[in-house]
């Protein structure tokens, strides 16, 4: 009993000690991360910089994925990554033999319905009316002949020369001839009057239905061609000829965008939203372009906070922090690739006013490091050796 109690007490003590150690270690790490203010590739004590924040480059239009609305097999992909395209240009197409046949069938159905409607509206031709008139006169003559024969047989019956059967047959022939002549007369009159309004309305409805079927078939056929929605550049080619695409599971065939002006979508921490405004001067840096600064301006500030758009994978990154999306337009950044992570530095209002007050060619002089250092009361300390290896976000007071 005592041995079992001792083992239990020992295990509880070990668990409590381990928990306390882990808690203290995490607390120290969080405190260390919170106090880190090392910046990437730029002196963190520059008084012109209000804040810095990470961002990802994207085209001016954003990335647009070209997906298929119909299921099929890719027949051709006419462009490659990096190609410039124009609005409406065919970028790729599906095998569309069946869709083309449906268009031909719908076209033939429409033509048939249109011909029937035209026939009803135009009525019978004069030649057709003449035929009906002739048929009527022929039936009328047959009627007169049948009547004459019946009268002859009636006279013979009175003289007891003809049998009753002959009288009945003559009477039946007369009635048949009378009915045929009446029918021929009515057909002739109808040909002169024209089609009924109800028949024309029905034919018009048939034509509209055929037109709708043709439009549907053409729309499906057109969906087998993938056209560029804008003037821009092919960012990526995601599918190759022979691959199947499915409408129920959309997958991009191509990704395009307009990168005439390169944008950076920046995640600004929620505690720094008051230090960012529309039209603010910024510059961007990246470790791959060491020593270079790319100028730009804030062109859009999202009015609502949201989740982060990307992860920097840094140990100091706050996962649960809300951010404000800020879009920055860079000047002359053609060599920067898309989807590239950069650090954006937001300038203060005084510096922006100075830069806006001089011509654009002279504005770069205000950004010279020598002039920056001369504006400080004390020269800024040199960055530490490992500052270039850190990409931690810093905030300046």
- pLDDT at position 317, please? 65
DSSP 3-state assignment of 329? strand
DSSP 3-state assignment of 368? coil
For the cut 60, the answer to whether the pLDDT of residue 336 exceeds it is yes
Span 270-295, pLDDT tens digits: 888 999 999 999 999 998 888 888 99
22 C-beta neighbours (distance < 10 Å), count = 10
Burial of 305 (0-12, 13-18, 19+ CB in 10 A): middle
Span 163-189, pLDDT tens digits: 666 656 666 666 666 777 777 666 656
Sequential DSSP letters for 71-87: -EEEEEE---TT-EE-T
The mean pLDDT value of the chain amounts to: 76
| pTM of this structure | 0.59
With DSSP H G I counted as helix, E B as strand and the rest as coil, what are the percentages for the chain, rounded to 5? Answer: 45, 20, 35
Q: Is the dihedral of CA 200, 201, 207, 210 positive or negative?
A: negative
Helix (H) or strand (E) holding 375: helix 369-375
Q: Domain 39-60+259-389 in CATH: superfamily?
A: Efflux pump adaptor protein, beta barrel domain (2.40.30.170)
Domain boundaries of the chain, sorted by first residue: 39-60+259-389, 64-94+224-257, 100-220
Closest-CA residue to 173 (of 219, 140, 142): 142
Strand partners, 73: 244
Q: How far is CA 143 from CA 93, 157, 234, 278, in A?
A: 70, 21, 84, 98
Return the CATH number of 64-94+224-257, one of 3.40.50.720, 2.40.50.140, 3.10.310.70, 2.40.50.100.
Answer: 2.40.50.100
Residue 147 DSSP label:
H
């Amino acid at each position: 009993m005592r041995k079992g109690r001792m083992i239990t007490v020992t295990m509880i003590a070990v668990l409590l000690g381990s928990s306390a150690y882990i808690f203290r270690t995490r607390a120290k790490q969080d405190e260390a991360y919170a106090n880190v203010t090392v910046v990437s590739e730029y002196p963190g004590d520059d008084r012109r910089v209000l804040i810095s924040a990470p961002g990802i480059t994207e085209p001016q239009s954003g990335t647009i994925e070209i997906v298929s609305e119909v299921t099929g097999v890719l027949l051709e992909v006419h462009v490659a990554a990096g190609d410039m395209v124009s609005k409406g240009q065919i970028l790729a197409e599906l095998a569309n033999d069946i869709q083309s046949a449906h268009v031909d069938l719908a076209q033939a159905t429409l033509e048939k319905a249109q011909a029937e409607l035209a026939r009803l509206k135009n009525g019978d031709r004069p030649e057709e009316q003449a035929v009906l008139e002739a048929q009527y006169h022929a039936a009328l003559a047959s009627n007169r002949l049948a009547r004459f024969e019946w009268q002859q047989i009636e006279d013979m019956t009175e003289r007891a020369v003809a049998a009753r059967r002959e009288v009945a047959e003559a009477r039946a022939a007369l009635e048949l001839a009378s009915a045929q002549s009446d029918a021929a007369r009515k057909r002739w009159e109808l040909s002169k009057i024209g089609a009924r309004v109800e028949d024309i309305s029905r034919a018009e409805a048939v034509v509209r239905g055929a037109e709708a079927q043709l439009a549907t078939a053409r729309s499906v056929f057109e969906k087998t061609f993938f056209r560029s929605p804008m003037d821009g550049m092919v960012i990526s080619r995601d599918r190759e000829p022979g691959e199947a695409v499915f409408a129920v599971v959309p997958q991009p065939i191509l990704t395009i965008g307009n990168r005439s002006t390169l944008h950076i979508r920046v995640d600004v921490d929620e505690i720094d939203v008051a230090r960012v405004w529309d039209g603010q001067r910024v510059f961007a840096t990246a470790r791959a372009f060491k020593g270079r600064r790319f100028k730009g301006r804030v062109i859009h500030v999202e009015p609502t906070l949201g989740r982060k758009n990307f992860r920097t994978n840094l140990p100091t990154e706050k996962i649960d922090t809300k951010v404000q999306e800020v879009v920055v337009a860079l000047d002359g950044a053609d060599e920067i690739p898309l989807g590239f992570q950069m650090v954006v530095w937001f300038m203060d209002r005084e510096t922006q006013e100075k830069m806006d007050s001089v011509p654009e060619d002279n504005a770069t002089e205000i950004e010279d490091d020598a002039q920056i250092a001369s504006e400080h009361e004390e020269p800024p300390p040199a960055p530490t050796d490992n500052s270039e290896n850190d990409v931690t976000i810093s905030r300046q007071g």
